[in-house]
């Protein structure tokens, strides 16, 4: 009995790792006990790996030919992981020679291979945007751009029915509008304005914040040879759809364009069930107003390539704003709607009852794009002291980011200094004490971060830290933004890189209809899965309910393994921003 007890938790794990499992690319010599960014590291940046081990020992960085190039000592984490175990970590920040390596720990084995080089995240950063091309509705994807994932056109959406909930004087129920293009939202084939709002804005902000760099990023999409940066071309695919979702008669915006029910797992072209636009709502209309206002000031830079577009966007934004002013409390409540109207709509709800944040965001974008601060006149910009990391239903910080970085309204918006202070305070709270948690990332600081779509929390924390860096110039925020990218790419409680196709152990079975039904083994690349979520809202039993381990690579597990446009966007922002800022990550300082 005593002997049994002396067998450590990690020795059992090590034994299990040698037995192997059904994970992709697992070999006898790679260890599930070593958790690191499976893509790699910038030469001058902080480099850490987490080793699930009881005690310190030497660790070695080796070439793929097993030549030792760096030796260090493992150190113990100050706090246990969420499962209650102290872990070890390897810090090899001072090793910066470009090349391909593995990390070796005698008691744990070899890590997955990784690279040390400049622009090490370039490919995954590009893929995170290219993923939207694969999500395009209303076009076929030729092999030239889509490679082995080429597919037929689905959902042209040129014949879309007005659902009875969306009826207006000029558009009777059952009448037809055309609402083509747009991105599929997630694992399903529907298109939701609310979720498009934060997604489209995050990608627009990526361009707005890093224009010089983003002009160099090529996606190999049909628009790659025109004069517009590819990230903006991709955004345009969704923006032009969003414009069709506004009722031209009154400026209100339909909540979503959808099938009545989720269709079965099939390719896009096989789903030919009727499509509807449903009820206008305050959240959709304000999100639309915010995105169109932001888009107008960006596309204004391309008057020859996109004549009239900036004007169309700002006009649409203002009409939407006016509708919301007259209809400030129209929530989308699908269950109530289904008591009144047929057919019943059972696809994603994206219901939200609090529009304080949507008003703040839309007013901020409109004020900045028009220069008219009157938009902010009746808005309480600081309704409470919270600084919530953005989600589709909580978009307040998107407005703050815009006010802070544009700074045109500093004289007329008295609370602007306070908003700046709060952003920095929030970033400081985020990074305070991070190095004591087992994985040493902001994401792994709190079990509360692990809900549905938890990977997007990690990515959006990274975006916030980059905003704090841009505001303060303090590099420490960038270091922790990078640590959250490390988390997403493998330094985490599951050992997965959560981005399909990028890393050694990556999701092979995302809840994503094309990936599941196209007959290609590899899923569509560049997609961020939702990640650890002990909630199990999908009813799929997880191997662990420990917050940061509550994950399964199963196509039925939509609560842990779906993909979504609003999750990919902060990944795209974070990875591309760090690529743009990589020279700032070189460190002479030690921590």
Q: Which residues bind Ca ion (CB under 5 A)?
A: 223, 226, 228, 230, 233, 352, 354, 357, 393
Cβ proximity to Ca ion, 224 vs 273, nearer residue: 224
Q: Which of 518, 553, 554, 579 is catalytic?
A: 553
- Taking the complex as a whole, how short is the minimal distance between the CB of residue 248 and Ca ion, in angstroms? 26
Token pair of 50 as six digits: 């987490």
Cβ proximity to Ca ion, 230 vs 579, nearer residue: 230
Cβ proximity to Ca ion, 381 vs 557, nearer residue: 381
Identify each DSSP E strand in 97-244 by its residue range. 99-105, 109-110, 114-116, 160-162, 176-177, 191-192
255 given a catalytic annotation? no
Cβ proximity to Ca ion, 87 vs 228, nearer residue: 228
- Taking the complex as a whole, how short is the minimal distance between the CB of residue 80 and Ca ion, in angstroms? 36
CB 358 within 8 A of CB 283: yes
- Taking the complex as a whole, how short is the minimal distance between the CB of residue 187 and Ca ion, in angstroms? 23
**Chain CA centroid to CA 160, Å:** 29
Contacts of 123 (CB under 8 A, 6+ apart): 39, 502
Token pair of 478 as six digits: 């960038």
Cβ proximity to Ca ion, 393 vs 492, nearer residue: 393
372 given a catalytic annotation? no
H or E element: which one contains 73?
Answer: strand 68-73
Interatomic CA distance for residues 332 and 323, integer angstroms: 15
Q: Which of 188, 230, 457, 486 is catalytic?
A: 188
CB 96 within 8 A of CB 103: no
Interatomic CA distance for residues 233 and 309, integer angstroms: 13
CB 182 within 8 A of CB 192: no
- Taking the complex as a whole, how short is the minimal distance between the CB of residue 218 and Ca ion, in angstroms? 8
CB 132 within 8 A of CB 186: no
- Taking the complex as a whole, how short is the minimal distance between the CB of residue 233 and Ca ion, in angstroms? 4
Tracing tokens 């107003």 back to the chain, one arrives at 289
- Taking the complex as a whole, how short is the minimal distance between the CB of residue 366 and Ca ion, in angstroms? 17
Cβ proximity to Ca ion, 105 vs 231, nearer residue: 231
Cβ proximity to Ca ion, 457 vs 548, nearer residue: 457
First to last CA, the chain: 43
- Taking the complex as a whole, how short is the minimal distance between the CB of residue 352 and Ca ion, in angstroms? 5
555 given a catalytic annotation? no
β pairing state of 34-35 and 48-51? antiparallel
Which among 460, 137, 125 has a CA at the least distance from the CA of 268?
137
Q: Which of 287, 511, 538, 549 is catalytic?
A: 511
486 given a catalytic annotation? no
H or E element: which one contains 35?
Answer: strand 34-35
CB 561 within 8 A of CB 516: no
Interatomic CA distance for residues 43 and 27, integer angstroms: 28
- Taking the complex as a whole, how short is the minimal distance between the CB of residue 385 and Ca ion, in angstroms? 17
Cβ proximity to Ca ion, 82 vs 207, nearer residue: 207
CB 566 within 8 A of CB 456: yes
Q: Residue 49 forms beta bridges with which residues?
A: 90
Enzyme catalytic residues:
188, 511, 553, 562
């Amino acid at each position: 009995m005593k002997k049994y007890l002396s067998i450590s938790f990690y020795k059992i794990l090590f034994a299990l790792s040698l037995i192997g499992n059904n994970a992709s690319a697992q070999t006898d010599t790679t260890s599930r006990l070593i958790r690191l960014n499976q893509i790699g590291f910038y030469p001058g940046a902080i480099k850490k790996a987490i080793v699930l081990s009881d005690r310190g020992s030497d660790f070695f960085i080796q070439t793929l030919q097993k030549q030792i190039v760096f030796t260090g000592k493992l150190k113990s984490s100050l706090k246990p992981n969420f499962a209650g175990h102290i872990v070890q970590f390897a810090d090899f920040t001072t090793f910066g020679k470009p090349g391909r390596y593995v990390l070796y720990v005698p008691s744990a084995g070899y890590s997955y291979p990784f690279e040390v080089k400049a622009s090490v995240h370039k490919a995954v950063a590009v893929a995170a945007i290219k993923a939207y091309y694969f999500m395009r509705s209303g076009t076929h994807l030729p092999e030239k751009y889509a490679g082995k994932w080429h597919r037929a056109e689905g959902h042209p959406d040129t014949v879309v029915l007005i659902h009875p909930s969306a009826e207006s004087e000029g558009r009777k129920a059952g009448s037809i509008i055309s609402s083509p293009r747009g991105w599929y939202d997630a694992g399903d084939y529907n298109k939701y304005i609310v979720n498009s709002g934060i997604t489209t804005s995050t990608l627009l902000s990526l361009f707005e914040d890093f224009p010089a760099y983003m002009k160099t990023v090529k996606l190999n999409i049909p628009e790659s040879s025109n004069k517009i940066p590819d990230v903006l071309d991709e955004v345009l695919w969704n923006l032009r759809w969003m414009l069709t979702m506004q009722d031209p008669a009154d400026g209100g915006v339909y909540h979503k364009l959808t099938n009545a029910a989720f269709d079965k797992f099939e390719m896009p072209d096989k789903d030919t069930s009727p499509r509807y636009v449903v009820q206008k709502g305050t959240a959709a209309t304000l999100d639309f107003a915010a995105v169109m206002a932001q888009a107008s000031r960006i596309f204004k830079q391309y008057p020859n390539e996109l004549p009239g577009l900036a004007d169309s966007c700002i006009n649409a934004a203002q009409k939407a704003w006016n509708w919301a002013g007259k209809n400030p409390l129209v929530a989308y409540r699908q269950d109530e709607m289904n008591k009144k109207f047929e057919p019943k709509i059972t696809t994603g709800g994206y219901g939200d009852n609090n529009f304080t944040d949507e008003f703040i965001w839309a007013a901020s974008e409109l004020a900045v794009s028009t220069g008219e601060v009157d938009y902010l006149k009746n808005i309480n910009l600081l309704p409470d002291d919270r600084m919530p990391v953005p989600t589709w239903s909580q978009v307040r910080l998107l407005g703050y980011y815009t006010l802070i970085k544009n700074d045109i309204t500093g004289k007329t918006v008295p609370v602007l200094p306070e908003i700046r202070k709060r952003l920095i305070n929030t970033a400081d709270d985020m990074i305070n004490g991070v190095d004591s948690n087992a994985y040493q990332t902001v994401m792994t600081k709190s079990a509360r971060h692990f809900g549905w779509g938890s990977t997007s929390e990690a990515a959006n924390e990274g975006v916030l830290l980059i905003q704090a860096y841009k505001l303060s110039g303090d590099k420490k925020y960038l270091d922790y933004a990078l640590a959250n990218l490390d988390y997403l790419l493998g330094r985490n409680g599951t050992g997965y890189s959560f981005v399909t196709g990028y890393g050694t152990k990556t999701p092979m079975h995302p809840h994503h209809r094309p990936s599941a039904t196209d007959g290609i083994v590899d899923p569509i690349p560049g997609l961020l899965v939702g990640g650890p979520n002990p909630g199990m809202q999908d009813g799929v039993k997880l191997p662990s309910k420990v917050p940061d381990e509550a994950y399964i690579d199963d196509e039925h597990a939509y609560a842990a393994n779906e993909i979504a446009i609003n999750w990919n966007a902060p990944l795209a922002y974070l990875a591309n921003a760090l690529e743009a800022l990589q020279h700032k990550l070189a460190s002479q300082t030690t921590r």
